[in-house]
Structure 1
Amino acid sequence: MSKRYNVAIMGATGAVGQEFLNLIEERNFPFAELRLLASSRSAGKKISFMGKEYTVEETTEDSFKDIDIALFAGGGASKTFAPAAVKAGAVVIDNSSTFRMDPEVPLVVPEVNPEAIAEHKGIIANPNCSTIIMVMALKPLENLSKIKRVVVSTYQAVSGGGKEAMAELEQQVQDLVAGRPVKAEILPGASLERHYQIAFNLLPQIDVFKENLYTKEEMKMIDETRKIMSRPDMRITATTIRVPVYRSHAESVNVEFADEVTVEAARKAIAAFPGAELNDDPATQSYPQPLNTSGKNDVEVGRIRKDESVEHGLNLWVCGDQIRKGAALNALQIAEYMIDHDMLKK
């Protein structure tokens, strides 16, 4: 009989937590016991999964007894409960930003830097969703020629702002069509002083502004990409935009290389890279779109063309489901890698 593992999902009632459940079933993940955890507000809720009804438990420091793998869906609670889970003997795969830039914690995209998993001391960090989507396109290109500089602009779905942001977009569209006044209470961030309409609009702010006038989201992309790709010298600049799309982030990525990389070589490298899918045929108007990548595991790359303003440059258009590959799938792939390489206790 193959090994099976006791799994806890913290944040089980949220979008990423629910995606964990979908993927565990889809991928036939080898779990024995499944423990669903959430805040006190969600404790007591019933969730039906694979023919069994589970009761959501309030997360406490004692929630991780006998757990092998703790999948954290994200949020500030990671700072409190991740050390408790590790102390109880679990390996934590954390989707929050709490540990990403901690030099003692690996930041992992399994297709890009799986070797970093072995360095963990109980916690493995899942990168920011936009970062994951971008490095899935950058890594096969870095294998062709050293990347000198990256300029990225993101077009991020409202689901990245949570269920409330999605509901606000829907309500705003309904109000606009009906000729009613539009309310904005969530975006660009519920805790921020000012809020703006997202329906038929774009918001050039995701998270708070830092002293250098970049947003926290933009700096995540810069710092995390360097860490994942072991390229502290890589020059990166980012602009992150919230767009009125429900699900799946899109990114315009400009890459400058040390040496010539042809469009054809880039296409072949991306097509051959696990987890990436080439969708690039201008003759038939085929290119990545949020609608086509929503609910999809692979990151699509297209609109590959030469940047004629620099000696060795390419432009790319990348789309990926930020709840799947950008969050839950990436974390589950880390757990699968550890199982495949016998890195977990029975």
Structure 2
Amino acid sequence: MHAQMRELTPIKGIRYYYPPDDAVLIFKDDKEQIPYGGMPVPLLEADFEALDGEPSYDAVGRGIYQALRSNPDCILGDQYAALLRDAYPHYLAELASHAIMIDSKDVEVPYLDRKITCLKILALLEPDNSALPLEIGRSFLDRGMRLSALHFATVSIYRAEHFLRRAHILAPDDRKILRYLGEANYLLGKYDEAKGFLLEALAGNEESDAESLHMRIEKIEKGTLPQIPPVDYLEAIGVAFANHQAGNHEEAIAILQDVLMDPVFREEFPIPEIHCIMGKGFTALEMPKYAEEEFRQALELDPSHEEARELLDQVATA
């Protein structure tokens, strides 16, 4: 038992209780019970400190729910999820509703992380359901492209590929999975693999995205590719944004100028915020003409970019 304790995943705010081998959870007014003996049980610290014998039904549910929400990849996570399903279905309903609610909104990265956590817990209970790793992979792909999290782009996109490959094993002919796998591999610079997945996704595809798939495949075949994997450029943009926030404007501008020197990346990933950040940097460096040019570039890419328009007006009237 002590050896198993050393292997458990440390989770902040959680302490583990070791029930006797014959321990059972009793619920529904004593009408149902589930054995849970021999399995270390996560409890909230407050519930652990208040123990006087075995923990209550509610205490076990709170602990398991918190442990899974904190780290769905924790050791024994599949057993905890099964206990949650069998004894605490209201928690699973809450997880599912959270995932659906978050999916219906254009949310910030922390909410996207919550969605991923919810889906991971649900996937523990349905390991053969390809829709769950597909949605987790899509969410990680989305996360990897978010401007506020570009400094984690490599990690996010590799995680996307991992879950999309898992989905592909479960449903090898699913065109949606193939399309997203192609996109993830393209971003990672695995162009031959990307082409293979995209060709499979294209087979018999008469959907609206068929033309874009053809164009991507044609560019790979012709070698019209970014000079380095796109994910590296995304990470660099994240570093530049961090430098800008820290007041290192010259460094931020230099990094972004290097990124924009690659015409293929610049064409495939038109990001108006790059020019907006450069414009802000030039403004801080008291170079208004260069700032004005960058704000105009941002508006060419996105005419509705309100911040760029406001800053352009400020520079032009200064």
Write 1 or 2 for the structure with the bigger share of strand. Answer: 1
- Using the size of structure 1 for normalisation, the TM-score is 0.27
Larger RCO (CA under 8 A, 6+ residues apart): 1
Structure label with greater radius of gyration: 2
More helix by share: 2
